[in-house]
Every structure is written in C-alpha cells, then in structure tokens.
Amino acid sequence: MKKILLSICCLSGIFAAAAQDTAFRIKTAPVTGNVFVHVSYGGFKGKVYAANGLYIVTKNGIILIDTPWSEDQTRQLTDTLEQRYHKKIVACIVTHFHEDKTAGLEVLRKQGVKTYSTQQTLDLCKANDNKLAEFVFRKDTSFRIDGVTLQTYYPGEGHSKDNLVIWLPKNKVLYGGCFIKSMEATNLGNVADGNVKAWPGSVARMMARFPHPAYVIPGHDGWQGGIGAVTHTLELLK
C-alpha cells in the first residue's frame, strides 16, 4: 500500500510540474531592426521570474541567443518563429550554464539547430547535469552567420564563472544576459555560482570593450533601461 501511495505521489508531482511548465507562454518583443527579445518563465525559490534571450532574423534563418527556460517553451518559440517568419532557427549560442539559458539545447539539436557554448560552459553543464551544446569555442569568437556578425566576450567572473556577453556591432546591441541586472532588480538574484567580489571588475572590462551600446539587454525582467542597467548592476554590487 505504501508503494502504491508513493507512486501516486510521484506521478502527481510529475503532472504538477508538467502543468506548470505548459502554463508558461513564450513572449517576444522588438528591440531594433532585425533584433528581438524572447521572454520565457521559470520558478526560483517559489517565485516565477521572466528570463530574456535574443533572436536575430536573417535572410535565410534565425539566430538564437540563449534558449527559453524549459523544453516546452523552446518548442513554443521555434513554432512561433517558423509561423511568423517562415524560417527556422539555424544557430544558438548560450551565455552560461544555468538552466534558464540552456534548458532547450536538446530540443534545438533534435531540430537540426547548431548549438554553441564555451568549453567552460560545457564543463559546468556536465557537472550540473544540464543540457549540452553540440559545438564549443574556447576563446572570444566572432560569428558571421548569413551576413550577421555577433561577437562573444568573456569579461570575467560575475553572475557565474562562465558568463559571456554578446555584442551585435551593426545594431549596437549589448546582450548582457544574467551578468547584467535589469533596472527593475532590487538585488543580485541567484549568486550561488557567482563571484560578487570579481563582478565589478568584470563589468569594467566589458564597458572598456563596448563603451557605447545603444541597447543593453539583461538576463531577466525589463530591458528598456539602456546603459543605466550597467550602472544599476554596479550599484547593486556595492
């Protein structure tokens, strides 16, 4: 009888988790030109949070920066983009190992998308049993995909040991990911894998490399604060 009750409880937990996941609906919003934000949702310490990623529409396909927070929301995004643009995602670059950026990697791989991370991110994904990118790069890299240039930059430790930022020079969009906090943030969020002491110096290196972004996209919540999000991140770090 105890085994039966345990099985029922386990199944109930699985169904509840699945119901919560499918209740989340992906959102998108324009940034500038062919650059858009995708917004997905997930839970952390009993609360639901919004997570940002980017997608860039090219002539022949779509480039994704970070996956949505779950496999279901990743499928929602791929379906939405194909219906809207009649194009498929051709490449995805993830900016660190946490699940809010990597959860959809296996879904994308099965759809034939080329997925990329740094070697450090791959190692951390393996250590934490998170989804893995198919291809790795070991230093700051410029990707040129269907006429679009993206530059990856590792500024140093901050939110995590492996956090990258992405620079789109044509649009002057700096995707800070979880390395940069939204103007709405009242704290640093999840720093369990972070290095708060090193973070300010890493931000300074990022700004020395990309001093004049027109748009700055943080990893969570609102992204309309522009360069103010960088200043706000430094204030929170104090």
Active site residues per annotation: 96, 98, 100, 159, 190
Residue pair 180/219 in contact (Cβ under 8 Å)? The answer is yes
Comparing C-alpha atoms, which of 33, 27, 31 is closest to residue 68? 27
Return the bridge partners of 122, or none: none
According to the 3-state scheme, what is the secondary structure of the chain?
CHHHHHHHHHHHHHHHHHHHHHHCCCEEEEEECCEEEEEEEEEECCEEEEEEEEEEECCCCEEEECCCCCHHHHHHHHHHHHHHHCCCEEEEECCCCCHHHHCCHHHHHHCCCEEEEEHHHHHHHHHCCCCCCCEEECCCCEEEECCEEEEEECCCCCCCCCCCEEEECCCCEEEEECCCCCCCCCCCCCCCCCCCCCHHHHHHHHHHHCCCCCEEEECECCCCCCCHHHHHHHHHHC
The CA distance from 174 to 153, in Å, is 10
Size of the chain in residues: 238
